[in-house]
Structure 1
Amino acid sequence: MASELLKGMESKPCIAYYRVSTEEQSVEQQRLTVRKFAESRGFMIVREFEEDISGSISAIERPCFKEALAFLEENPGIKILLVYSLDRLGRSFRDIFSTMSNLERKGIMVISVREEFTHIMHPQIRDLIIAILAWVAQYEVYLIRERTRLALQRPDVKKKIAKRRKYDKIDEDKRNFIIELYKKGYSINKIAKYTGETEYIVKKILKLSGVLEVGEFSCPRCFHRLKWDEVEKKYKCRNCGYVKA
C-alpha cells in the first residue's frame, strides 16, 4: 500500500530531520529507521539535520531546523522533508500543524515514517489532509479554552486568584522587610509565619525582586513543580493550571 502511495517519487532527492529531547538517549534509532524507509522507497537523502533540543521549543525557533529550511530554500529542486514521526516537529498538535502547513504552502512535502497518511503524494489529497488537520487544530484550541473557562469557575481556583491579587495590596516597606529577612537566612516558611503572609506571597515577592530564582521546571506563578502532561504533550502545573510554552 505504502509503495503505491509513493509511486512516481522514486529517486527523488530529500533531506531528513531528526530531533531528540534531553530525556532521550540517541538519534541513531531515528536515523536508521528513516534511512531504511528512504532506501525502500527509492528516496535519496542528500543532507541530514539533527539536534538535541526540547520539543516544547517551536520547530521554527530551533537552530538546526532553521538550517534545514535555509538549505531547502537554497536548493529549490528538493521538495521532500523526511522525519521519523510528526512529533519531531512539535509537542502539541497546533505546533505540528503550523509547521507542516507552512512547509506545504512552500511546496515542501513532509513525509513521516510513522504516519502513513503523510505518504500520499497527490496534491489535492494532501490539501484535503491539511484542511482536516486545520480543523483538528482549531478544535484543540476550543477544548483548551473550554477547560480553562471551566477551571476558572472552580472555588479553589477562585481562591488562588484572590490570593494572587492580595500581592498588589502589600506595601513597599513590608516587601523590603521580607527581602531583608530572606537575605539574613530566614526560611520562606519562617518569613511567612513572622509576617503573617502566605508562602506563595513571600515567594512571589522574592522572585519579582530577583532574590529568588525559580528553576526551569518550577511554575513561575505558584512555584509548584511542573508535571509532564501526556495528553497535551507539555509541562503543566497541577496546582494553578500554568502550561509551559
Structure 2
Amino acid sequence: MKTILYARVSTADQNLSHQRTHAEQAGFKIDEVIADHGVSGVSTKLSERTEGKRLFDMLRKGDTLVVRWVDRLGRNYEDVTETIRHFMKKGVVIRTVINNMTFDGATDDPIQKAVRDALISFMAATAQANAEATKAAQRAGIDANMGNDEKYRGKKPSYDRATFTAVIDMLATGQGASAIAKATALTRQTVLRIRDDQAGAEAALAKWGM
C-alpha cells in the first residue's frame, strides 16, 4: 500500500516542493509525488492531464491519495465529485492536507454515507465557486488595468502568489500567525487578513494580475 501526493501547480509562482513539505509536516508519509504543471483545474479534467491520468492506473485498493485540498483534483463540481467517487469505489482513500479530511468507501452505514457524500459535494462546489470568483476578479483586474483605474483595484497586496500559497499551507498545518509572519516576512496583521478572508486575499492578487 502506497501514499501518493498529487499536486497541480497551475502557475509559475506556485511551488511544488512546499506542497510536499507541508503534507509531511501534517503527518503524511509520502511514498511518491505525482504533479502536473501549468494545467488549469477548471478546463482540464484530472483524467485528461499528463500526470493526473496516471493515477487512474497506478492507484490500487488500500492506497492513499493525498492532495493539498480538493481543488488540486479539479475546480469543476461534476469532475471533482466523479473523481473522488471513482477512487473510493476502487478502495482508495483520499485525504486532504488542509482540514485533514478523509474520504473512503469503507462504510456501509447509510447515514455516514450521506454525510460523507454531502461533504464531498460541498467541497467540490466550493472549489468551483472559488474558481469562478477568481476568474471574475481576474477579469476585473484586466479591465481595471485597461482603464488605469488603480482606485478600483485597491491597495496592491504586500504578498505574491507563492507567499499567499505558503501562508495557506502553513495555516492548514496549525502554525500560528506569528510563526507564519516570521517565516514569510509578512506582518502578523497581513497573515491574519489572509486567514480570515482567503477568497478576498486571492481576489486582490487577481485584480493586480499577480
TM-score where L is the length of structure 1? 0.44
Larger CA Rg, structure 1 vs 2: 1
Structure with more of its chain in helix, by fraction: 2
Change (3 A) 1:115 1:66: same
1:14 and 1:78 in contact (8 A); partners too: no
Match for 1:68 among 30, 47, 55? 55
The root-mean-square deviation of aligned C-alpha atoms, in Å, is 3.4
Indicate how the Cα distance of structure 1 residues 79 and 63 shifts in structure 2: closer, same or farther if over 3 A, else same.
same
Give 1:130 deviation, angstroms: 4.0
2:63 equivalent in structure 1: 79
CA-to-aligned-CA distance 1:37-94 (integer Å, 9 cap, x gap): 2xx35x4x3221011122121111111111122222xxx3542101111110111333
- Measure the CA separation in 1 of the matches of 2:62 and 2:22: 21
Aligned to 1:97: 81
Question: Which letter maps to 1:101?
Answer: R
Could you tell me which amino acid in structure 2 is paired with residue 127 of structure 1?
K
1:51 aligned onto 2:40: no
> CA 1:13/1:22 → structure 2, altered by over 3 Å: closer, same or farther?
same
Q: C-alpha distance in 1, partners of 2:104/2:53?
A: 25
Are 1:82 and 1:110, in contact at CA under 8 Å, matched by a contact in 2? yes
How many residue pairs match? The answer is 132
2:101 is matched with which residue? Answer: 117
The one-letter code matched in structure 1 to 2:6 is Y
How far does residue 95 in structure 1 lie from its aligned partner after superposition?
Answer: 2.5
Matches within 5 A, 1:136-175: 136=122
Give the whole-Å Cα distance in 1 for the aligned partners of 2:20 and 2:123. 29
Alpha-carbon shift at residue 23 of structure 1 (Å): 5.3
Structure 1 position 30 matched with structure 2 position 15: no
Whichever residue aligns with residue 33 of structure 2, its letter is E
Contact 2:88 2:103 in 1 (8 A): no
Instruction: Give the conservation status (yes or no) of the 8 Å contact 2:2–2:31.
Output: yes
Structure 1 moving runs of 4+ over 6 Å = none
Segments of 5+ residues of structure 2 without an aligned counterpart are 141-210
Q: Are the aligned partners of 1:20 and 1:26 in contact in 2 as well (CA < 8 Å)?
A: yes
1:215 alignment counterpart: none
What is the CA distance between 1:117 and its match in structure 2? 3.4
Offset of 1:121 from its aligned partner? 8.6
Choose between structure 1 and 2 for higher RCO, CA contacts under 8 A separated by at least 6 residues: 2
- The change in CA–CA distance for 1:115 and 1:101 in structure 2 (over 3 A counts) is farther
CA distance in 2, matches of 1:97, 1:233: 20
Does residue 127 (structure 1) correspond to residue 127 (structure 2)? The answer is no
